[in-house]
Amino acid sequence: MHKFVNAKKMVDRAKLGKYAIAHFNINNLEWTRAILETAQETKTSVILGVSEGAIKYMGGFNTVVAMSLALLNDLNITVPIALHLDHGQSVISCKKALDAGFSSVMFDGSHLNFNENIKGTKEVVMYAKKKNASVEAEAGTIGGEEDGVIGSGEIASEEDCKALAALGIDLLAAGINNIHGKYPPNWDGLKFDVLKNLSVAANKPMVLHGGSGIPKEQVQKAISLGISKINVNTELQEVFAAAIEKYVTSGKLKEDKGFDPRKVFKPGIEAIKLKVKELLTEFGSLGKS
């Protein structure tokens, strides 16, 4: 029986090899299947990320684990895959995810004062280690909004990164002027000098949140400076919606049983697969497992 793996080994290898593991947020069964099939087909390790909002939408922690695990086995996925709680807002959420069978969690204490962030991260690390799961922490805040989690985009400090890294975390997300959702036209790019210093201070694989829409050359540079995991959500949502919109507006719904949800979703699923392959190539992890 196939199981989810924790993310430590894959991100450590990515840091050494100067590429980034793709973390794709999932939203339903079709989404999960499209990502898993592409990972298997290209022999690439990926991380399935699930936000608290998506967990609520799909029915709960146990539903998400049961569905994802069943797909892993029914599709005979043999490449290492991690199931990761994205932006866990409390210690309780992280524990619930770990109890349900998530193999990796992010404790996002960036909305708390730093002492509380440290305290919460420490508790999650202790709990996760018992479950052989990996832990991601956050210093500074990621700007924008993701499923109701709003960050003003504070740049992380070296001291904070060092303190979090010392707790035994496996990955560190840090604010380097990256934002969730769409980047505005006047966005002035990632702060590479900050990333360089934080990466050295933490000496951990670094995570780039808000990976949708960052120019390719900036992504490449970020990877060269220590980014070992890149989170993508918006970009897959956009191609999925655009493909379905095209299906509907081209009159396909009126064709023979064109209203069948399997037919309606099919172009969206194909669009996700194409985009996933494109991003795996861009992150340098294609074929790496």
Domain residue limits, the chain: 8-283
Structure tokens at 213: 């829409």
pTM of model > 0.85: yes
Q: Considering only CA atoms, which of 55, 48, 111 is closest in space to residue 75?
A: 48
Beta bridge partners of 230: 22, 208
What gap in Å lies between CA 42 and CA 20, rounded to an integer? 15
Structure tokens at 98: 């770990």
Q: Which amino acid is at 199?
A: S
What gap in Å lies between CA 258 and CA 287, rounded to an integer? 36
CATH of 8-283, picked from 3.40.630.40, 3.20.20.70, 3.40.50.10790, 3.30.450.20, is: 3.20.20.70
* Start-to-end Cα distance in the chain: 18
Is 86 an active-site residue? yes
**Digits of tens for pLDDT over the chain (289 positions)?**
899 999 999 999 999 999 999 999 999 999 999 999 999 999 999 999 999 999 999 999 999 999 999 999 999 999 999 999 999 999 999 999 999 999 999 999 988 999 999 999 999 999 999 999 999 999 976 656 555 554 445 778 899 999 999 999 999 998 888 888 888 888 888 999 999 999 999 999 999 988 888 889 999 999 999 999 999 999 999 999 999 999 999 999 989 899 999 999 999 999 999 999 999 999 999 999 9
Helix H, strand E, coil C: the string for 208-264 is: ECCCCCCCHHHHHHHHHCCEEEEEECHHHHHHHHHHHHHHHHCCHHHCCCCCCHHHH
What gap in Å lies between CA 103 and CA 128, rounded to an integer? 9
Residue tagged active-site, from 86, 108, 147, 160: 86
What gap in Å lies between CA 252 and CA 54, rounded to an integer? 29
